[in-house]
Amino acid sequence: MIHRIGGNKEQITRYGSASFTYSSNGYLASITDEVGLTSTFDYGNALSTDFINSMTTPYGTSSFSYTENSSTDSNGKTYYDRVLTLTDPMGYMQRVEYLDNAPGIFSGTDPAGCPSVCSQGWFCSNQYMQFRDTYYWNADNLRDPNDYSSAENFHWLHDNSENPETSRVLESVKKPLQNKMVSEHIFLEYKWKMCSDTD
């Protein structure tokens, strides 16, 4: 969501015009769309003054919360636990969490993981699956935020540094109760192939 922009306070579209208002510090305060519906934004939490706490529309208020914790291992590497939660006007919740070593996420023993060699003839790793993971629970499967097997799992590649860090490139995606889909990276072209336990 864009919450800070410059330039005109009115955007013309083929359906009409939308208007924007801003707070004294330059943050987006409200949007009024082509049919006159207005959405307003409230900012600020303990970690950041520009975090959107809530968005109020004619349909109600959606609230957002963010927490961040970290721990450091014996080698001096820091691991983070970052959680963003959305609660909509009906009270339904969605949650996104980045976490290393989530409970129940195993390295190389995931029963719905990818075999070491797929039938397509290329290698796909099923190691270190407990690191560099983002988990997403929608309103239907967020019954227990400690059940990481019920979340959609986004597993990230790491960089090539001496102390590898999480990259911005996906290695695999695994939906709840499904096999993971592995990303094959060839000259920056992304191809997705589904691996099966029966391969």
pLDDT digits (tens, 9 = 90+) for 61-109: 999 999 998 888 787 777 889 999 999 999 999 999 999 888 877 665 4
Measured from the Cβ of residue 70, the count of other Cβ atoms closer than 10 Å reads 9
Query: What is the identity of the amino acid at 190?
Result: Y
Residue 105 has what pLDDT? 74
Overall number of domains in the chain: 2
Which of 24-38, 121-135, 157-171 is least confident? 121-135
Question: Which residues make beta-bridge pairs with 181?
Answer: 173, 194
Identify whether residues 23 and 120 lie together within a single domain. Answer: no
Label residue 195 by pLDDT band (50, 70, 90). very low
**Looking at the domain assignment, is residue 199 inside a domain?**
no
Residue 114 has what pLDDT? 53
**Looking at the domain assignment, is residue 150 inside a domain?**
yes
Tally the C-alpha atoms within 13 A of residue 97's C-alpha that lie toward its C-beta: 26
Check pLDDT > 60 for residue 15: yes
Hey, what's the torsion of the CAs at 84, 78, 103, 197, to 10 degrees? 100
Label residue 155 by pLDDT band (50, 70, 90). confident
Question: Which residues make beta-bridge pairs with 182?
Answer: 172, 193
Question: Rounded to an integer, what distance in angstroms lies between the CA atom of residue 22 and that of residue 32?
Answer: 12
**Looking at the domain assignment, is residue 12 inside a domain?**
yes
Domain with 34 in it: 1-58
Of 76 and 113, the one with more pLDDT: 76
Identify whether residues 70 and 143 lie together within a single domain. Answer: yes
Measured from the Cβ of residue 42, the count of other Cβ atoms closer than 10 Å reads 15
Please, are residues 80 and 68 in contact by the beta-carbon 8 Å criterion? yes
Please, are residues 35 and 43 in contact by the beta-carbon 8 Å criterion? no
Question: Rounded to an integer, what distance in angstroms lies between the CA atom of residue 98 and that of residue 140?
Answer: 20
**Looking at the domain assignment, is residue 178 inside a domain?**
yes
Identify whether residues 42 and 71 lie together within a single domain. Answer: no
Identify whether residues 94 and 150 lie together within a single domain. Answer: yes
Query: What is the identity of the amino acid at 73?
Result: D
Identify whether residues 151 and 186 lie together within a single domain. Answer: yes
Residue 137 has what pLDDT? 94
Check pLDDT > 60 for residue 160: yes
Identify whether residues 13 and 70 lie together within a single domain. Answer: no
Of 175 and 61, the one with more pLDDT: 61
Residue 192 has what pLDDT? 43
Identify whether residues 43 and 114 lie together within a single domain. Answer: no
Identify whether residues 19 and 102 lie together within a single domain. Answer: no
Which of 10-19, 35-44, 51-60, 73-82 is least confident? 10-19
Of 33 and 145, the one with more pLDDT: 33
Check pLDDT > 60 for residue 191: no
Closest-CA residue to 87 (of 29, 44, 137): 137
Label residue 47 by pLDDT band (50, 70, 90). confident
